[in-house]
Amino acid sequence: MSKFTDYNFQPFLREAIRKLGFENPTPIQKEMIPLILRGTSAIGQAHTGTGKSHSFLIPIVERIEESSDDLQAIITAPTRELATQLYDELLKLTEETGIRSALLIGGTDKERAANRLKSNPQIVVGTPGRINDMAQSNALLVHTANMLVIDEADLAFDMGFIEDIDKFASRMPEHLEMFVFSATIPEKLKPFLNKYMESPAHIKIGERQSFTEGIHYSLVPVRSMKKEKKLLQVLESITPYLAIIFTNTRKNAEELASFLEQEGIKTGRIHGDLSPRERTRMMRRVRDLEFEYIVATDLAARGIDIPGVSHVINFEIPDDLEFFIHRVGRTARAGLEGHAITLYEPTDEDKITNIEKLGIPFVHEDVKNGEWREVKERHARKKRTKQFDEIDRQAVAFVRKPKKVKPGYKKKMAKQIENFKRQERRKQRKK
């Protein structure tokens, strides 16, 4: 199908898709929608920004039987924010229908969540822990739901949620249709998948958006300056619509956000130490465009969709380079251009080399008096050192130890070597 209008969806769903402005399905949608409509268990391997959420939401909504009071589909996401986003998108598809749905996420009152389930939702979206709590207490009757979606499965595994999913999935129908979405499929995740999925279709949309498509990658040396001061120089030189500044830890995110606010820069913050209420309030303020700058941990790169990001700044480079890809993937969306800026110190050399191997086309730049300018490659010093090492070898070969040594011959030889090296260096400079 080359267009959404080519699908034989119900009229309400066709209208909802039209309102969303969707015309042509993305590659992951083209592959996954027919499989889910047929009830074929599948693994969809795709990266952030490929449209995978609607590749399962649309066909699941199409298959829901409104006349049945039974729970028919469960959709899990590893973070509260991502679950909430999926639920919001689900409501856009079902607002003109009688399809009932419920959001079950941690950090909310359990009794209130149980009360919501008394309305017999046909679709449940939530975090694995809270869904499992409701299933174990029989507030959520999962045995009737024959469709299970696990979104961001690799992140769910990393966060230890696969055990929760396993507990309530084991209560679901024997012939369970499972649809797993993940950027990567870790080896340790495969035993769980093999337990519930027999010869699933495996759709791999490996071509994430081209690294060079719409993104300018600046690699900025910190040198002898404090990194926070270098960041201020960078911030003074850009005019973002919205910039996300990434740190590697919650503590560093909080400290950096406080530093920026002390410098008079209004700064949002998104990290795991915020309470559920604080995170909800912060996301609302972000979407209301209260901030130009947000300091965040990698939770924002994987579990939160923040529209309109014009700049991504890596204050710290992540140890897991896959997170680097997710970070920079927050910008240059929907055909817009983006600027990814990475601050680096000498200790980051190995990480930068590995990132370059992924295909990231860094431009070595610096900021001076509010203006960007290209500077020498960071390898220039190494190249020069190697050149001089070669001169050292030539000098030692040229100045030989005399057959008859006299007192002070070592000093004389050292002087001759230095003179030879000085002459060779002059020749190199002239070249």
Amino acid making up residue 333? R
Residue 216 has what DSSP assignment? E
CB distance 117 to 139 below 8 Å: yes
Q: Which of the residue ranges 308-317, 348-357, 410-419 would you say has the lowest mean pLDDT? A: 410-419
Beta bridge partners of 104: 126
pLDDT of residue 16: 95
Question: Is the model's pTM score more than 0.75?
Answer: no
- What are the residue boundaries of the structural domains of the chain, listed by start? 4-204, 215-374, 382-430
CATH 3.20.20.70 fits 4-204, yes or no: no
Would you state the structure tokens that stand for residue 131, as one six-digit string? Answer: 């869904």
Can you spell out the DSSP letters for 81-143?
HHHHHHHHHHHHHHTTS---EEEE-TTS-HHHHHHHGGG--SEEEE-HHHHHHHHHTTSS-GG
Give Cα 370 distance to the centre of its chain: 29
| 120 Cβ contact list (under 8 Å, min separation 6) | 69, 70, 71, 100
In the predicted structure, residue 180 carries a pLDDT above the cut 70:
yes
Question: What counts of helices (H) and strands (E) characterise the chain?
Answer: 17, 15
What does the mean pLDDT of the chain come to?
Answer: 87
Alpha helices (runs of H) in 141-249, residue ranges in sequence order: 153-158, 162-169, 190-196, 227-236
HSE, side-chain direction, 13 A CA sphere, residue 416: 15
Topology (CATH) of 215-374: Rossmann fold (3.40.50)
Stated as kind and residue range, the H or E segment containing 245 is: strand 243-246
Q: Is 70 helix (H, G, I), strand (E, B) or coil?
A: coil
* Cα 83 from Cα 131, distance rounded (Å): 11
CA-wise closest residue to 301 among 327, 277, 321, 282:
327
In the predicted structure, residue 368 carries a pLDDT above the cut 60:
yes
Region of 359 on the Ramachandran plot (φ > 0 left; ψ -120 to 50 alpha; else beta): left
Would you state the structure tokens that stand for residue 413, as one six-digit string? Answer: 């030889």
Residue 208 has what DSSP assignment? P
Say what percent of the chain tops pLDDT 70.
87
Q: Which residue has the higher pLDDT, 182 or 390?
A: 182
- β 42-45/201-204 pair status: parallel
| 109 Cβ contact list (under 8 Å, min separation 6) | none
Would you state the structure tokens that stand for residue 229, as one six-digit string? Answer: 């001061």
CB distance 424 to 391 below 8 Å: yes
CB distance 106 to 76 below 8 Å: no
pLDDT of residue 386: 47
* Cα 243 from Cα 310, distance rounded (Å): 6
Render pLDDT for 254-309 as a digit per residue (tens, 0 to 9): 999 999 999 999 999 998 788 878 888 898 898 888 999 999 998 666 667 788 89
- β 371-374/363-368 pair status: antiparallel
Residue 402 has what DSSP assignment? P
CB distance 122 to 100 below 8 Å: yes
* Cα 231 from Cα 220, distance rounded (Å): 10
HSE, side-chain direction, 13 A CA sphere, residue 39: 9
Alpha helices (runs of H) in 39-95, residue ranges in sequence order: 52-63, 80-94
Would you state the structure tokens that stand for residue 7, as one six-digit string? Answer: 């699908």
Amino acid making up residue 345? E
Would you state the structure tokens that stand for residue 97, as one six-digit string? Answer: 């229908």
* Cα 311 from Cα 307, distance rounded (Å): 12
Confidence of residue 399 (pLDDT cuts 50, 70, 90): low
Q: Do domains 4-204 and 215-374 have the same CATH topology?
A: yes
Average the pLDDT over 3-12 and give the result: 94
